Amino acid sequence: MQQRDKLFINGKWIAPHGTGLINVIHSTTEAVMGRIPEGHARDAEDAIQAARAAFDSWSATPPSVRAGYIRKIAEGLKERSEELAQLIAGEVGMPIKLARAIQVGGPVYNWAQAAKLLDTFAFEEEVGNSLVVREPVGVVAAITPWNYPLNQITLKVAPALAAGCTVVLKPSEVAPLNAFVLAEVIEAAGLPPGVFNLVTGYGPVVGEVLASHPEVDMVSFTGSTRAGKRVSELGAQSVKRVALELGGKSASVILDDADLAAAVKGTVGACFLNSGQTCSAHTRMLVPRARYDEVKAIAKKVVEGYTVGDPLLETSRLGPLISAAQKDRVTGYIQRGINEGAELVAGGPEAPEGLDKGFFVKPTVLGNVDPKATVAQEEIFGPVLSIICYDTEEDAVRIANDSIYGLGGGVWSGDEARAIRVARRIRTGQVDINGGPFNMQAPFGGYKQSGNGREAGKYGLEEFLEYKSLQMKKPAA
């Protein structure tokens, strides 16, 4: 068990102001796998002051020097990859093969990319008689979730540091142990004191201070839409910049000329990744009404191929959910879907056979779901796919857009030009065409109540920069 009793503030590991500890629960064994400090409001304030004091010097550090530190962090994380993969597989429940590739491989890549961007990024340009410069926004509070813990930390902290900002990180208290490893790596890389600070604790205590503090210039938050609204309210009091990456209810639109087998298999995969605990998961599968029986049969067969089990076993394809509360939430949604008239195609609310311990849920497909049903409108955050029938292409677009969210989605068609045409009409931040793979250099973020701002690639770096115009007096002709 990992016992963490100190916070990382101003380049040092220091005892928190309070004495409380938070248990970190293993998603498979339900045992306590670690303890972390329950941070106090004063800890958050200390971290903010440290970040503020470090800002002037760090923001003036040449981009090439900042890139050198960031490369060291990428290398340090790579050296501890297996340790991190095992930790996150325990915390979150993602099968170890995927945890290595996605939960750790992604962050290592993104730290390295943040350094690489600094080699070519244009921080200034001449526009008429103006010199337009890009400057760091200031002190950034990064508040991150538990589902892809290290990756969501990385997509905030790495570009913020690259931009010249200083950072206070509050990771999710549900999956925080990986953040302590990152802090150790940052310490070993020799980052100047105060540039990066780690404060753990609960959102209503630490998070509220970070979102409301007048010395914080920007809050970057990933989490639920409900919590994102609260962050926005608090940030508005000091008119700070707020970037939000929130919930989703993404639609995978299978058109009538699509390769049905590939489309259904691809959609199930995009729904069940990380046991459905993915904000951009394709949780609504829209299919031509005339093909429903075919789709149902294919989906049932695909789901039967998902092995549910211990994420540390190489044979497991689906691990547990993050917590008992999440398990109860997801099984409650499954039962509600059935109660509201959906056909149970695969899975169900009962625990998977032979898995009485751990937060496991059967991979579930609900068929003939009404577009207005609860399971078609609300984010479930579990391995639950709703099949929704449509009659025309126009109908499919209408249903896809009938959501408060707009984060991800997909379109499947035998005609790529047709798929792109439909994708352009869907109000969402990202659309996969015929299963196009995730691109870590493309912008990621949402429309509507899925949030605002973008992460990843140069777009993620730009989020942490302000424009300044220097109007130059041209010499007389």
- Residue 234 sits at the vertex; the CA angle it makes with 232 and 239, to the nearest 5 degrees, is 80
Q: Are strands 166-170 and 196-198 parallel, antiparallel or unpaired?
A: parallel
Contact between 408 and 282 (Cβ < 8 Å) = yes
CA distance 457 to 469: 24
Catalytic entry in 165, 271, 279, 389:
279
**In the 3-class helix/strand/coil scheme, how is 435-476 assigned residue by residue?**
CCCCCCCCCECCCHHHEECCECHHHHHHCCEEEEEEECCCCC
Q: Are strands 32-37 and 2-3 parallel, antiparallel or unpaired?
A: parallel
> In Å, what is the CA distance from 164 to each residue of 67, 69, 73, 365?
10, 12, 16, 46
Lookup result for tokens 């590991």: 13
> In Å, what is the CA distance from 231 to each residue of 217, 237, 335, 366?
13, 10, 32, 34
Find all residues with CB under 8 Å of 42, minimum gap 6, and list them: 17
279 a catalytic residue? yes
CB-CB neighbours of 120 under 10 Å: 7
271 a catalytic residue? no
Catalytic entry in 38, 45, 245, 455:
245
> Which among 260, 253, 264, 282 is positioned nearest to 392, based on CA atoms?
253
How is residue 113 annotated by DSSP? H
How is residue 437 annotated by DSSP? P
CB-CB neighbours of 464 under 10 Å: 26
| Amino acid code (one letter) for 466 | E
CB-CB neighbours of 190 under 10 Å: 10
CA distance 453 to 156: 12
Burial zone of 198 (CB within 10 Å; 0-12 exposed, 13-18 middle, 19+ buried):
buried
Q: Which residues pair with 35 in a beta bridge?
A: 3, 23
Give the up-direction half-sphere exposure of residue 65: CA atoms within 13 A in the CB hemisphere: 10
Give the up-direction half-sphere exposure of residue 77: CA atoms within 13 A in the CB hemisphere: 29
CA distance 191 to 395: 54
> In Å, what is the CA distance from 167 to each residue of 47, 158, 318, 346, 464?
9, 10, 34, 45, 11
Contact between 367 and 292 (Cβ < 8 Å) = yes
Instruction: Give the SS3 label for residue 36.
Output: strand
Residues constituting the chain: 477
Catalytic residue set: 245, 279
